């Protein structure tokens, strides 16, 4: 993973939070913010904000702060979302359809350009009103290579998640957003982000406690 090896993963995760908050500031017509304001909005100390950003260069001016538009542009560049990423979707069931219609993706630079499902009744038809045509999983390798796709959304049933993953990696996929409730085995040069919804619910259940029941 080259350039990123020395930067702690939590710092990179916070970049996404900073970016989200800066976009909210921009939408409120704020043009300059201090590390203190940025931190306060996110419950993070201003020292942590400055330290995280310092991994990536020199931003802002002491006593003045950060230019909101400028820092947004720089964070997008660091995160790689100042370009459009072409993404594939494996699995065209309810979850896959929900992901395709999720507005958050396109506005952040992610475009689903190919959809695969091994249900023949779905194949050959577009998903949604003007979505991509569903293709069979057998076509995945050639499409990934032709379209040079590197990122995948995995929304297939748990039972086939690993075999679909193996196929995608063989085709050249390097990053997988995994919605199947299983741990995927992948080589070291492939990154998986797991969206385990039950973990979120456990955290909520803990914070509520059992007092209300």
- Binding residues for a second copy, rule: CB under 8 A, are 1-4, 12-13, 15-17, 19-20, 24, 78-81, 83, 85, 87, 93-95, 97-99, 101-105, 107-110, 148, 150-151, 158, 174-177, 181, 183, 191, 193, 195-213
Asked if 169 and 149 count as a contact pair (C-beta separation under 8 A), the reply is no
Give the residue with the Cβ less far from a second copy, 31 or 200: 200
User: In terms of Cα–Cα distance, which of 56, 61, 89, 52 is closest to 74?
Assistant: 56
Measured CA to CA, the distance from residue 44 to residue 38 in angstroms comes to 8
Cα–Cα distance, 14 to 165 (Å, whole number): 28
Q: Looking at beta carbons only, is 57 or 63 nearer to a second copy?
A: 57
Nearest approach in angstroms of CB 9 to a second copy is 8
Query: Measured between alpha carbons, how far is 27 from 88 in angstroms, rounded to an integer?
Result: 30
Nearer Cβ to a second copy, position 79 or 160? 79
**3 state DSSP class of 205:** helix
CB of 104 vs a second copy, minimal distance in Å: 4
Q: What is the CA radius of gyration of the chain?
A: 20
Q: What are the structure tokens assigned to 74, written together?
A: 């720089």
- To the nearest whole angstrom, how small is the minimum distance from the Cβ of residue 25 to a second copy? 12
Whichever of 106 and 139 has its CB closer to a second copy, that residue is 106
Least Å distance, CB 203 to a second copy, is 6
């Amino acid at each position: 993973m080259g350039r990123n090896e020395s930067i702690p993963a939590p710092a990179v995760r916070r970049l996404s939070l900073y970016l989200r908050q800066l976009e909210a500031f921009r939408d409120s017509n704020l043009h300059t913010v201090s590390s203190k304001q940025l931190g306060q909005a996110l419950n993070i100390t201003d020292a942590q904000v400055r330290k995280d950003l310092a991994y990536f260069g020199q931003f802002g001016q002491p006593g003045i702060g950060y230019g909101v538009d400028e820092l947004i542009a720089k964070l997008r560049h660091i995160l790689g979302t100042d370009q459009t990423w072409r993404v594939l979707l494996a699995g065209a069931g309810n979850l896959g359809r929900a992901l395709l219609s999720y507005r958050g993706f396109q506005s952040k630079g992610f475009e689903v350009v190919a959809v695969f499902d091994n249900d023949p009744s779905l194949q050959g038809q577009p998903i949604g009103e003007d979505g991509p045509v569903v293709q069979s999983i057998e076509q995945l390798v050639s499409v990934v290579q032709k379209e040079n796709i590197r990122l995948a959304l995995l929304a297939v049933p748990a039972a086939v998640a690993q075999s679909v993953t193996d196929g995608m990696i063989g085709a050249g996929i390097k990053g997988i957003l995994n919605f199947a409730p299983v741990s995927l085995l992948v080589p070291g040069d492939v990154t998986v982000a797991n969206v385990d919804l039950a973990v979120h619910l456990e955290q909520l259940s803990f914070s509520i406690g059992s007092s209300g029941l």
